[in-house]
Amino acid sequence: MREAGSLCLALLFPAVLALDFGYHHSEALGAFLQEVHQRHPSITALRSVGRSVAGRELWVLVLGRFPTEHTIGIPEFKYIANMHGDETVGRELLLHLIDFLVTNDKSDPVVTKLIDSTRIHIMPSMNPDGFEATTEPDCFYSEGRFNKNGKDLNRNFPDVFSSNNVTIQPETQAVINWIKDESFVLSANLHGGALVASYTFDNGNPAIGSLEDYSRSPDDDVFIHLAKIYSSNHASMYKGNQCENKPVFPHGITNGYAWYQLQGGMQDYNYIWGQCFEITLELSCCKYPPASQLHAFWNDNKAALIEYIKQVHLGIKGQVLDRNGQPMPNVIVEAKGREHICPYRTNQYGEYYLLLLPGSYVINATVPGSGSILKTLAVTNGPENFQALKYDFTFPEVSVTARDAACPTKPLYQHFESFSAAVKPTLHFLALMIVLYTVFK
């Protein structure tokens, strides 16, 4: 009866279904997400992962064929927007992305395959208080950047490279807990104030080779690919020169540190401690553009937002099993030559996911104290098939559970900190640029 009733209403008032191109404040945003979940209960789950300082819910809409929980073999993906409350385009883009995904499931083949193969988590606003504190559209920096305690959330994460000594804010803690709860594989973090896809590391020092103004991760090739997927599928980001008073970014991408160094950023945290590859997307030259431009922003970003999610199927995935076929958590699984600062380990279901470009790799699965299995695997293009290469490791001799992860305590590289600043030749020039243009991510 309820179904028939809402169908009649939908036929009578089809406009109710369409999401408008305007800014949605907290109440409207929450109501929209509730409505999406009510209309599409089988492919969505709605949860709040915590509350802001002022008590606003940090909503996450989850989409997938099995939205309420993890399914073995289905990778977890996330988008987060509006962590700087005055950078508003991403917040609305993610609402439109949700609308697009739920309304095209079972009709658009790409959307259907995405929902079949991926669990997609969407947080339209990580800083709802900052958004509400920014009352007027304004292209430049404003107080709404910060949370209600005046803290910049993209400087508020633990940092492996230097002691940033921050008081972790409720919004940051909620995201940290959420990252620990789910085994995210790929993510993007949506900002405004420039037009570029920026990738880890944002911080660094000579110990990891961050000389010459570039802080290279062992997965630099994968990050460049991910950033280029976004910029090249965007209407104009790939041109790299779309905003006045900003550097020219070849291909519309940049290493974070090469643009400007920052401590306590979210993307480094995801990569180092979350086993999740995250990039930072700067989506508008103007931080808070007029609502009349939102439709054009959606058109410019739609293909890129979809294509980027597909990249969660890069590389290799599988399970590590003991001699009884039982999944083994906490087993280190890494590609040779790409060992991470905090080694990547299997999750509670014994699963690993390694994002790798097509090529040949030696994968090392290690139960600490009980030996390693090395396997050479040839990776082909997974995103095309919405499926990474699958390979399971079995330890025939072992039936013990590996011990929990021993990650480095922060800051790992503190003793290099002063050296790092000293060898940066353009530091003063960069500082001047920052003062001149108030460039903030």
Ligand X SMILES: *[C@@H]1O[C@H](CO)[C@@H](O)[C@H](O)[C@H]1NC(C)=O
**Residue 176 binding result from ligand X, Zn ion, none, given CB thresholds of 5 to 8 Å by partner type:** none
Report 372-391 residues binding ligand X (CB under 6 A).
Answer: 372, 374
Please answer whether residues 142 and 136 qualify as being in contact, where contact means their C-beta atoms are separated by less than 8 angstroms.
no
Is residue 364 close enough to count as binding ligand X by CB under 6 A?
Answer: yes
Report 175-204 residues binding Zn ion (CB under 5 A).
Answer: 191
Q: Which helix (H) or strand (E) holds 36?
A: helix 26-39
Q: Please confirm, yes or no, whether 397 is among the known catalytic residues.
A: no
Query: Which value, to the nearest 10 degrees, does the dihedral of the CA atoms of residues 196, 199, 201, 202 take?
Result: 30
Is residue 84 close enough to count as binding Zn ion by CB under 5 A?
Answer: yes
Beta strand 44-51 with 57-63: parallel, antiparallel or unpaired? antiparallel
Number of residues in contact with ligand X under rule CB under 6 A: 8
Helices (H), 40-152: 89-104, 109-117, 128-133
Distance separating alpha carbons of residues 150 and 168, to the nearest angstrom? 12
Question: Which residues does residue 184 pair with via DSSP β-bridges, in sequence order?
Answer: 76
Is residue 332 close enough to count as binding ligand X by CB under 6 A?
Answer: yes
Give the type of residue at 15.
Answer: A
Please answer whether residues 89 and 297 qualify as being in contact, where contact means their C-beta atoms are separated by less than 8 angstroms.
yes
Distance separating alpha carbons of residues 29 and 365, to the nearest angstrom? 44
Residue showing tokens 């919405």: 386
**Residue 372 binding result from Zn ion, ligand X, none, given CB thresholds of 5 to 8 Å by partner type:** ligand X
Is residue 246 close enough to count as binding Zn ion by CB under 5 A?
Answer: no
Is residue 165 close enough to count as binding ligand X by CB under 6 A?
Answer: yes
Give the type of residue at 158.
Answer: P
Contact pick of 52, 88, 347, 366 for ligand X (by CB under 6 A):
366
**Residue 84 binding result from Zn ion, ligand X, none, given CB thresholds of 5 to 8 Å by partner type:** Zn ion
Give the type of residue at 182.
Answer: E
- 89-104 and 109-117 are packed helices; what angle lies between their axes, rounded to 10 degrees? 100
Contact pick of 57, 76, 86, 87 for Zn ion (by CB under 5 A):
87
What burial class does residue 134 get, using C-beta atoms within 10 Å of its C-beta: 0-12 exposed, 13-18 middle, 19+ buried? buried
**Closest C-alpha among 132, 146, 147 to residue 50:** 147
- Find the shortest distance in angstroms from Cβ 363 to ligand X: 10
Three-state DSSP class for residue 191: strand
Three-state DSSP class for residue 404: coil
Is residue 399 close enough to count as binding ligand X by CB under 6 A?
Answer: no
In degrees and rounded to multiples of 5, residue 311 shows phi and psi of: -65, -10
Distance separating alpha carbons of residues 418 and 395, to the nearest angstrom? 45
| Residues 6 or more apart in contact with residue 154 via CB below 8 angstroms | 83, 84, 189, 191, 262, 264, 265, 266, 441
Instruction: Output 369 or 396, the one with its CB closest to ligand X.
Output: 369
Instruction: Output 78 or 84, the one with its CB closest to Zn ion.
Output: 84
User: Segment near ligand X (CB under 6 A), from 6-14, 229-237, 315-323, 364-372?
Assistant: 364-372
- Find the shortest distance in angstroms from Cβ 120 to Zn ion: 22
Instruction: Output 52 or 366, the one with its CB closest to ligand X.
Output: 366
**Residue 441 binding result from Zn ion, ligand X, none, given CB thresholds of 5 to 8 Å by partner type:** Zn ion
Is residue 310 close enough to count as binding Zn ion by CB under 5 A?
Answer: no
**Residue 87 binding result from ligand X, Zn ion, none, given CB thresholds of 5 to 8 Å by partner type:** Zn ion
Cα separation values, 155 from 173, 261, 262, Å: 13, 11, 7
User: Segment near ligand X (CB under 6 A), from 21-29, 172-180, 215-223, 366-374?
Assistant: 366-374
- Find the shortest distance in angstroms from Cβ 153 to ligand X: 17
- 87, 92, 282, 334: the catalytic one is 282
Is residue 324 close enough to count as binding ligand X by CB under 6 A?
Answer: no
Query: Which value, to the nearest 10 degrees, does the dihedral of the CA atoms of residues 327, 331, 336, 337 take?
Result: 140
**Residue 191 binding result from Zn ion, ligand X, none, given CB thresholds of 5 to 8 Å by partner type:** Zn ion
**Residue 343 binding result from Zn ion, ligand X, none, given CB thresholds of 5 to 8 Å by partner type:** ligand X
Is residue 441 close enough to count as binding Zn ion by CB under 5 A?
Answer: yes
Is residue 107 close enough to count as binding ligand X by CB under 6 A?
Answer: no
Residue showing tokens 């083949």: 109
- Find the shortest distance in angstroms from Cβ 167 to ligand X: 7
Contact pick of 336, 375, 403, 415 for ligand X (by CB under 6 A):
336
Instruction: Output 249 or 413, the one with its CB closest to ligand X.
Output: 413
Distance separating alpha carbons of residues 330 and 344, to the nearest angstrom? 9
Instruction: Output 88 or 330, the one with its CB closest to Zn ion.
Output: 88
Instruction: Output 14 or 337, the one with its CB closest to ligand X.
Output: 337
Residues labelled catalytic = 282
Chain contacts with ligand X (rule: CB under 6 A): 165, 332, 336, 343, 364, 366, 372, 374
Chain contacts with Zn ion (rule: CB under 5 A): 84, 87, 191, 441
